[in-house]
Structure 1
Amino acid sequence: MTTKSVWMTPAALARLEAELAELSRPGRTLSDTEQARAAELRMSVRNAEVGQKPDDGLVEPGMRIAVRFDDDDEPTSFLLGSRELADLDATVDLDVYSPTSPLGAAITGRYVGDTVTYEAPNRAVRVTVLEAVPFG
């Protein structure tokens, strides 16, 4: 089974490592819930991808994205990544969209200037990628 890396900020990784260290103290007996959480933390730390992405215009997790929806004149900006992991870092000061959300899935792998259409719950939505720059 291949596990995909998960982009996160250095602060988010530090928070996960600190929680894992707390659970892994010698002599500590863990409940089943704590054992499951420790396993989850080990997996997250092992698969962490930390640091800035290249500034090449590619939409991928770890990028600050700006898009324009066809039915809106104002651009929308957000971080593409895990909302849960972004919440661990107080420097994340914008909305976070998951790469698995309808919008995130539609634009991941696209480049600045690309226009795509994706299915929202009630309609098809057309969006243009205006910007994709490394977060940080």
Structure 2
Amino acid sequence: MSDQNASGVIWLTQEAFDKLRNEYEFLSGEGRAQVSAKIAQAREEGDLSENGGYHAAREEQGHQEARIRQLKDMLSRAKVGEAPSSDEVAPGVRVTVAFDGDPDDTDTFLLGSREVLGLDGSVTDDVYSPQSPIGTAVLGKRKGDVATYKAPNGREISVTILDVAPFSG
């Protein structure tokens, strides 16, 4: 899987892919029509320079168009499949690491994107991108492997992979 990540592939469950595709279809269809109607209605109110509704609708349109571009990109790079079941660290797994080999200094996190994994706030684990320093370091590793990465402050940090488990939601 690590070679897929390097090429920009985004791993998605079928459920996450469907959710993102439905959001894209709504925003690029009915959602666009709704925002356009808000803008047209605000234009009818007169002076656009002092029309808060018009400016709010235009801002909403800008955010929506950015989200449409983001979703289109994600969907174009998506690989749909089930959560990895091997003991290899890959996008979509829950990873537990020990910092500098200290079994008392551990962290458990999900490797992937909060948005892509479809998390709704009920999951308390941290989520790290496979492109983050720790994500890049642990990607492709297995239980017992040691990975080293450079922290934002420049310090090298070593972690030992204690556990790799599929994310089950």
**TM-score, with normalisation over the residues of structure 2?**
0.64
Q: Structure 1 residues 36 and 58, CA, compared in 2 at 3 Å: closer, same or farther?
A: same
Partner of 2:94: 64
Shift of 1:93: 3.9
Shift of 1:37: 3.4
Shift of 1:53: 3.2
**For the residues of structure 2 that align with 1:11 and 1:85, how far apart are their CA atoms?**
10
CA contact (8 A) 1:97 1:104 kept: yes
Partner of 1:107: 138
Could you say which structure has the higher helix fraction? Answer: 2
Partner of 1:130: 162
**For the residues of structure 1 that align with 2:146 and 2:67, how far apart are their CA atoms?**
40
- How many residue pairs align between the two structures? 134
Please tell me the root mean square deviation across aligned C-alpha atoms, in Å: 2.8
Question: Which protein has greater RCO, CA pairs closer than 8 Å, 6+ apart?
Answer: 1
Choose 1 or 2 for highest CA Rg.
Answer: 2
Q: Structure 1 residues 118 and 67, CA, compared in 2 at 3 Å: closer, same or farther?
A: same
**TM-score, with normalisation over the residues of structure 1?**
0.77
Counting aligned pairs with the same residue, the percent is 39
Partner of 1:18: 22
Q: Structure 1 residues 122 and 34, CA, compared in 2 at 3 Å: closer, same or farther?
A: closer
Aligned with 1:82 (options 93, 106, 113): 113
